[in-house]
Amino acid sequence: MISNKLFTEAIRYTVIDCSDPDSDNDIGYMLEDSTYAYINIYELAHKCKEWAFRHTDIYSGQRHHAKGSIVENYCVISIHHEAFYADTEQSAIFKACQWILDNKETK
């Protein structure tokens, strides 16, 4: 769902392991000093977007049918006109931020 490297960038602590979200949308993670903690997936997605804003413009949202049902969740990196789609808005944000992280290092 989210790489340890991106998680580390977003929360500014070295994450060595993380779990998938539980039923309360909390993600468990372990820091390099073996401390275990939880963060809500919405808060983590917000932290990832804050991290991304330091590198480029990024926005996310949902596209809807005229009748109001959600068609797709997306995240767009405007500087590269890249779009990322996923089942949830948070997953789309994580995909976009991972792309930024991967491409930032190749330059």
Extract the tokens encoding 45: 């997605």
DSSP secondary structure of the chain: ---HHHHHHHHTS-EEEE----TTSEEEEEETTS-EEEEEHHHHHHHHHHHHHTTS-EEEEEEE-TTS-EEEEEEEETTTTEEEEESSHHHHHHHHHHHHHHHHTT-
Strand partners of residue 17: 30
- Residue 107 predicted with pLDDT over 50: no
Per the CB < 8 A criterion, the answer to whether 95 and 75 are in contact is yes
Q: Taken in order 66, 68, 69, 74, is the CA torsion positive or negative?
A: positive
Q: Where are the domains of the chain?
A: 4-104
* 13-62 confidence digits (pLDDT tens): 999 999 999 999 999 999 999 999 999 999 999 999 999 999 888 989 88
pTM: 0.86
Residue 66 identity: A
Residue linked to tokens 């995240």: 75
In this prediction, residue 70 carries a pLDDT of 66
